[in-house]
Chain A
Amino acid sequence: MLGWLTVIFCCQLAGELAVTGLGLPVPGPVVGMALLFCGLLLRKGIPADLGKVGDALIGNLSLCFVPAGVGVMLHADLIGADWLPISVALLASTLLAVAVTGLLMQYLSRAKQAGKEGD
């Protein structure tokens, strides 16, 4: 287990180094995610223990949001001053994104299925 946690940390470290060294426009952990994904592709499977470590990390993902979320106390003034643009933009854009993604995906999958049936 510790070995796979080390692998995950190494992926993140390699990602951070790549971002700093090459000036990539992506956060280091995302590059680390891509590296781990490539590793899994090469290995053609997820080792059972790696799966356990990963599920434990992702299963507690919401806990990791808490310290940053408490940072709201630092920005109470900013949010208070901008509450209208922030709340309207947040609500409208989120619901719009749900509708656009859902409708497109349903339409494209159906189009593909219809195309197959026509073959």
Chain B
Amino acid sequence: MADLRDIWVYLSASPLLHLTLTLVAFQAGAWLYKRGGLNPLLNPVMIAVVLIVAVLVLTATPYPAYFDGAQFVHFLLGPATVALAIPLYRQFEKVRRSALAILVSLLCGSATAAVSAVAIGWLLQGSNDALIAIAPKSVTAPVAMGITEQLGGLPSLTAVLVIVTGITGAMLGPHVLKLVGVKDWAAHGLAIGTASHGIGTARAMQVNETAGAFAGLAMGLNALATALLLPLIWRLVFGG
């Protein structure tokens, strides 16, 4: 048995173990998601996170040790954010035609998402860390984490809230739109993309192509608008 422990010690020290754990857990999540008919409740990110946390707790592995390996996956968030310029460019013609309508709707929706989240959290006496982390929750994760970092918050907490927000918007957003009488697919996509970034965009893409295109656009623009405006507004309001 001593040999087995030697192997474990050796593997724990190498990035390979936790990198592989991340990939395997995500594959399991993706498989369940497909088996479940793409039910948003079976979100692959959520499943992967639950599986990995379970393994780490069972093996008494601290998060920093896990992150040493998983950081190679985490690193790709940066280049993926840069690459969002590509879908943005693909939709550029469509965007130019209704630029003003998009801009006004997006800015109002973006402000609603951030201001109402912080206001409700503040009214219910949420801690300062929670308020900073929840402010950019409708923005795609890499950007939201960057914003939280700049406001002096906890990026990893934001990442979790961003993912939960994405699932919430993708699941319940279509019902809300039906309830308030939004029938236009461009408006549908813009709303889902603004409120629930990539996870909402993936969902909108499955429902309607125009909705998907506008959701992807909204995700990119909201990232840009929130990253530019939120830190400024935050400093004005809280004087940080």
Q: Which residues of A contact B (CB under 8 A)?
A: 5, 8-9, 11-12, 15, 25-30, 32-37, 40-41, 46, 50-51, 53-55, 57-58, 60-75, 78-79, 81-82, 84-86, 88-106, 108-110, 112
* B105 is an interface residue with CB less than 8 A from chain A: yes
Which of B4-12, B34-42, B75-83 faces chain A?
Answer: B75-83
* Separation of A98 and B116 alpha carbons in the complex (Å): 12
Closest chain-A Cβ to B78's Cβ sits at a distance in Å of 4
28 A-B contact pairs sorted by A residue (CB < 8 Å) = A26-B146, A26-B231, A27-B146, A29-B81, A41-B92, A51-B86, A57-B80, A62-B26, A62-B202, A66-B73, A68-B145, A68-B159, A71-B67, A71-B159, A73-B56, A78-B127, A85-B120, A86-B126, A89-B121, A89-B134, A93-B137, A94-B173, A94-B196, A97-B116, A97-B194, A99-B176, A101-B194, A104-B108
* Separation of A78 and B163 alpha carbons in the complex (Å): 17
| Cβ–Cβ < 8 Å partners of B157 in chain A | 71-72, 75, 78-79
| Cβ–Cβ < 8 Å partners of B126 in chain A | 82, 85-86, 89
Closest chain-B Cβ to A116's Cβ sits at a distance in Å of 11
- Is the pair B227, A30 in contact by a Cβ cutoff of 8 Å? yes
* Number of residues from B at the complex interface, CB < 8 A: 117
- Is the pair B53, A33 in contact by a Cβ cutoff of 8 Å? no
Residues of B92-143 contacting chain A, CB below 8 A = 92, 98, 100-102, 104-106, 108-110, 112-114, 116-118, 120-127, 129-130, 134, 137-138, 140-143
* Separation of A26 and B223 alpha carbons in the complex (Å): 10
Given A73-B57, A94-B113, A104-B101, 20 further pairs, Cβ under 8 A: A11-B82, A12-B78, A29-B143, A32-B82, A66-B73, A67-B70, A68-B141, A69-B160, A85-B121, A86-B121, A89-B117, A90-B161, A93-B116, A93-B117, A97-B116, A101-B105, A101-B195, A104-B109, A105-B102, A112-B98
* Separation of A98 and B223 alpha carbons in the complex (Å): 16
- Is the pair A69, B45 in contact by a Cβ cutoff of 8 Å? yes
What residue of chain A has the Cβ atom nearest to residue B138's Cβ?
A97
- Is the pair A92, B116 in contact by a Cβ cutoff of 8 Å? yes
- Is the pair A75, B191 in contact by a Cβ cutoff of 8 Å? no
Q: Which residues of B contact A (CB under 8 A)?
A: 22-23, 25-26, 44-46, 48-49, 52-53, 56-57, 63, 66-67, 70-71, 73-74, 76-90, 92, 98, 100-102, 104-106, 108-110, 112-114, 116-118, 120-127, 129-130, 134, 137-138, 140-143, 145-147, 149-150, 154-157, 159-165, 168-169, 172-173, 176-177, 179-184, 186-188, 190-192, 194-196, 198-199, 202, 218, 220, 223-224, 227-228, 231-232
Of A8, A27, A89, A102, which one neighbours B143 at CB under 8 angstroms?
A: A27
- Is the pair B109, A101 in contact by a Cβ cutoff of 8 Å? yes
Indicate whether A8 sits within 8 Å of B228 (C-beta atoms), given known contacts A37-B89, A102-B187, A106-B187. Answer: no
Indicate whether A66 sits within 8 Å of B49 (C-beta atoms), given known contacts A75-B160, A85-B120, A97-B113. Answer: yes
| Cβ–Cβ < 8 Å partners of A97 in chain B | 109-110, 112-113, 116, 138, 169, 191, 194-195
Indicate whether A27 sits within 8 Å of B159 (C-beta atoms), given known contacts A66-B25, A94-B196, A100-B112. Answer: no
